Amino acid sequence: MSTCHGLQILGASTSAELDDTYTGIDPRDGSELPGAFHEASDAEIDRAVSAAYQAFDAFRTTTAEQRATLLDTIADTAMAAGDELLQRASAETGHPIERCAAERGRAVSQARLFAEMVREGSWVDARIDHAEPTRQPLPKPDVRSMQLAIGPIAVFGASNFPIAISVLGADTISAFAAGCPVIVKGHPAHPGTCEIAAEIIRTAIAKCDLPADIFSLIHGRSHRVGAELVKHPQLAAAAFTGSLKGGRALFDIANSRPQPIPLYAEMGSVNPIFILPGAMTERSAQIAQGYIDSLTMGVGQFCTNPGMVLGLGEAAGWKDFRESAAELVRQHEPQTMLHCGIHYAYQEGIHRLQHSSGLRQVSRSSREPDETASEAACYLFETTADGLRHNPELYDEVFGPVSTLVNCSSPADLEEFAEQLEGSLTASIHGTEEDLRAHAGLVRILEKKAGRLIFNGYPVGLEICHSIHHGGPYPATCHSHFTSIGTRCINRFVRPVCYQDWPDSALPPELQESNPLGITRIVNGKSSQ
């Protein structure tokens, strides 16, 4: 494994002003990995954002084809880089190489999807209302509008997706697609992966002959680095994926600035599964298998991990479902978590659940986990409707392979607990069409509580496409109107600008009367090309 240089990447240059360094750690044995990574200084953060701001006008006025070519070139360069990225990501996270390769594939496909969208062009939401100079009692002006890039974006990499929701993730790619420069705050748990990915992007920018300052990577373990980045007066917005505590802290900083900016934080949730009687009667064992597979995938380290299952305990099949799930949990082998910090927090969460009144441990992995390898056992707890009423902390997410079964006595219980849910990224319902008709009230409640409603499926796993919405009401995210995955996530980094009575030759091509780009637009209230 090659040694990383560990320097801040500031456009075309590198820098290391502070002697404060740290290393990547292999969570499987606690060993230090090659490379010493320098904490970013305030001056380096300022240079990164200031340079991005200076490059903004040149980048935002590039053509759609230039930005699409950049995204395709990033994808090509990531694949041409070989296995170095995968090997480092595996070493820093404990993920198998196959999982890292799948993440790279997701990042590459995502970049190509955005390239297609940028070329097609309709995402700018161009709207034209023609003038009516003879309208009475007042003439109607010519009014046109479209989405434009907002400026430099700070991106905070996620701990659980070192490739696909980090330097090469949707935040960076969608910002580039919009024409916004990016400053990535690398995650300290996988600094080498961040550096290798950053060099891929820097190479692609050079190949496309675009301004080098549209991209920078800064390192840092301390909260100071992220805080100073979000405070910078020339930053336009920030995107974060991580804990509620971290996201809320950055959100508060972003909103306390003299000029507040949006902080788009995706912070996880409990992601409940509701199992209705028809489905429980028909396929309890099948549902149990899918549920435990979803719970344990990636050692439970997904923001969509199913932390709670609610069903009617008197329904036929509930007992079989419970027993099947418990046996699958016993069979599950403990696995290494992403890093010691996540492992410690998981252990603390399990300890809290084990000492919660009204909660009983149903099952856990039979083999004892190896603490030196940051391994996590899988746990399954259960409670009753009354137990959940008296333990509202059960609605809190515990990040890892642990979940709670809630034995409800009536459909009214299901609706009561759905109402008590805080905002969630997902909510899943297993049932029949007759179940959906009989529990229409539950569905209406969950529409208010979750960003993605899943029928007869499981929350872990996202289809990267135009329709996907990965968001939800607070505290799942800070802004429920926006997604952090899928092509609509570009809407976080643009704003509508209206042009009134402008000469055609001075308008952006997307708004010119002849429609030289051939994009779909709304003209006088109707879709048109």
DSSP 281-334: HHHHHHHHHHHHHHHHGGGG-STT---EEEEETTSTTHHHHHHHHHHHHHHPPP
Is residue 290 situated within a structural domain? yes
Mean pLDDT of the region 489-502: 98
> Do residue 300 and residue 232 come from a single domain?
no
Residue 329 has pLDDT above 70, yes or no: yes
**Burial class (CB within 10 angstroms; exposed 0-12, middle 13-18, buried 19+) of 365:** buried
For CA atoms 61, 65, 66, 72, give the dihedral sign.
positive
Q: Are residues 244 and 279 in the same domain?
A: no
Q: Does the structure show a pLDDT above 90 at 3?
A: no
pLDDT at 253 over 70: yes
Residues 304 and 358 in one domain: yes
**442 domain-assigned:** yes
- Average pLDDT of span 71-94: 95
Question: Token pair of 508, please?
Answer: 């952006």
pLDDT over threshold 70, residue 337: yes
Mean pLDDT value across residues 67-78: 98
CATH code, 223: 3.40.605.10
| Together in a domain, 179 and 309 | no
Measured in whole angstroms, how far is the alpha carbon of residue 230 from the centre of its chain?
18
pLDDT at 223 > cutoff 80:
yes
Q: Are residues 248 and 301 in the same domain?
A: no
Same domain, 158 and 279: no
Contact 245, 270 (CB under 8 A): no
CATH code of residue 281: 3.40.309.10
Tens digit of each residue's pLDDT (9 = 90 or more) over 408-427: 999 999 999 999 999 999 99
- Asked if pLDDT for residue 133 goes beyond 70, the answer is yes
The verdict on 277 and 262 lying in the same domain is: no
Instruction: Round to whole Å and give the CA distance between 380 and 405.
Output: 8
**525 within domain boundaries:** no
Cis peptide before 475 (omega within 30 of 0): yes
Q: Which two tokens stand for residue 1?
A: 């494994």
User: In the predicted model, what is the mean pLDDT of residues 321-345?
Assistant: 94
Question: Are residue 47 and residue 171 in the same domain, yes or no?
Answer: yes
Average pLDDT, the chain: 95
Domain count of the chain?
2
* Residues 344, 444 within the same domain: yes
User: Is residue 312 located within the same domain as residue 227?
Assistant: no
Task: Tell me how far apart the alpha carbons of residues 90 and 240 are, in angstroms, rounded to a whole number.
Answer: 22
pTM (two decimals): 0.95
- How does DSSP assign 319-335, residue by residue? HHHHHHHHHHHHHPPPE
Report whether 86 contacts 100 (CB < 8 A): yes
Q: What is the pLDDT of residue 78?
A: 97
Same domain, 242 and 292: no
- State the average pLDDT over residues 53-82: 96
Q: Does 366 reside within a domain?
A: yes
Regarding whether 187 and 291 lie in a shared domain, the answer is no
| Total Cβ atoms within 10 A of residue 234 | 14
pLDDT at 44 over 90: yes
Residues assigned a catalytic role: 266, 303
Residue 110 inside a domain? The answer is yes
- For residue 227, being part of any structural domain is answered with yes
Phi and psi dihedrals of 392, rounded to 5? Answer: -60, -15
Residue 316 has pLDDT above 80, yes or no: yes
Query: Has residue 227 got a pLDDT over 90?
Result: yes
Q: Is residue 293 part of a domain?
A: yes
CB 325, CB 291: distance < 8 Å: yes
Q: Residue 1 — very low, low, confident or very high, per pLDDT cuts 50/70/90?
A: low
Q: Domain range for residue 279?
A: 273-455
Residue 521 or 393, more confident:
521
Domain for residue 116, yes or no?
yes
